[in-house]
Amino acid sequence: MTQKDYLSITPEIEQAIKEGKPVVALESTILSHGMPFPQNVEFAHKVEEIVRAEGAIPATTAIIGGKLKVGLTSEELDIMCKAENVGKVSRRDVAVYLATGKTGATTVATTMMIAEMAGIKIFATGGIGGVHRGAQETMDISADLQELANTKVAVVCAGAKSLLDLGLTLEYLETFGVPVLGLRTDEFPAFYCKTSGFKLDYRAETEAEIAKIAKTKWDLGLKGGFVIGNPIPDEYALDYDEMEKVIVKALELAKEQGIHGKDTTPFLLSHIKDMTEGVSFASNLQLAYNNAKAASKIAVELAKLEK
């Protein structure tokens, strides 16, 4: 069997890719491990509607029945949202899940892999993974960063999740040659918060400018992707100092309970939601919608350039 035999692409998406139409990849970990049921069902449908409203086609990814799914039916979206026996799949887990027929939700790293295999260049997520706080002792660094260094997909996100070490995450990306662009911002966004205090080298005023930079990089045959930092809209942004206090509390709780590895982020997000009485969850939804909108605009501009 070849790589293509493992891919299951919906006819609509397959046709769009063939014709060079704009397609935006979407992950499923945000559904299975980032949000409660049934709010995640509403989110899954709304984010796809936002992509379509901007003139692009949504391609939500998952691993179901031994196949890398590119585009999910309503029934498949429900499977991911109910999250019964749905694992969190990063690059190291892909072969195991395919070979054993397990159902898996795709992380940023896995979604990038599948998108590249399918020929999709733009991907919208909430926030990327990164270097965890205390990584100098634990070596806890998200596989997302290595994927960004090697896989030709541009990732639109509200920066990295604010529970990470944002400074070390940016250093890591720089070491591996991953461009980090700010969409109408000079600072790396911090997920729930518009600013982080970390200045970016490149600010792009328009989605068209980002599409042009991406095309130029890949025309040159340079490997790897991009991070496009798209700040949460003003009305949903939370205060950085307040959120920092909440995150520190949640991290202490995770340490006390011995939570580590791939369980860390879902644990922290759930406790941060409780500690902020649901305000952080509302912000999480809005930043993801905002990223889907920006990614779709970039995909539309890139499709124009490639024609």
The one-letter amino acid at 295: A
280 Cα distance to chain centroid: 17
Has 12 been annotated as catalytic?
Answer: no
Instruction: Give the SS3 label for residue 167.
Output: helix
Catalytic residue among 69, 88, 121, 161: 161
Among 90, 91, 283, 68, CA closest to 193: 283
Whether 19 contacts 301, CB under 8 Å: no
Distance CA 212, CA 207 (A): 9
Pairing verdict, β 67-70 and 57-64: antiparallel
The one-letter amino acid at 127: G
Catalytic residue among 27, 116, 147, 207: 27
Has 27 been annotated as catalytic?
Answer: yes
Helices (H) and strands (E) in the chain, counts: 14, 11
208 Cβ contact list (under 8 Å, min separation 6): 301
Instruction: Give the SS3 label for residue 84.
Output: coil
Active site residues: 27, 161
